[in-house]
Amino acid sequence: MKIGDMVYNHRTKKLCIITKIGSRMFDHGRDEGTNIVTVVNVGESHTTYALMDRLEKISVIDNN
């Protein structure tokens, strides 16, 4: 996932757009942490925080 991707937040059950990806959290020296991200819920104007492992990337099909 990258900045600008539309994702579904399973915790809040809302569509969001990733605006910033932060550093790993809960990483104990191994590659098993998760990134904290800043998201904007679709239809809202304020940003919130989410854990990347709670997000699911939405595939957008463009018929053009």
Is the residue at 27 inside a domain?
Answer: yes
Using left for φ > 0, alpha for ψ between -120 and 50, and beta otherwise, residue 11 falls in alpha
Quick one: pLDDT at residue 19? Answer: 92
Domain of 17, in residue numbers: 6-49
Residue 43 lies in a domain: yes
The whole-number pLDDT of residue 6 equals: 93
pLDDT tens by residue, 8-63: 999 889 999 999 988 766 555 555 667 889 899 998 888 898 988 889 998 766 55
* Structural domain includes residue 26: yes
- Residue 22: inside a domain, yes or no? yes
Judged on CB neighbours under 10 Å (0-12, 13-18, 19+), 36 is: middle
Please give the torsion angle defined by the CA atoms of residues 16, 46, 48 and 10, in that order, rounded to the nearest 10 degrees.
Answer: -30
Predicted TM-score (pTM) of this structure: 0.74
Question: CB-hemisphere CA count at 13 Å for 63?
Answer: 0
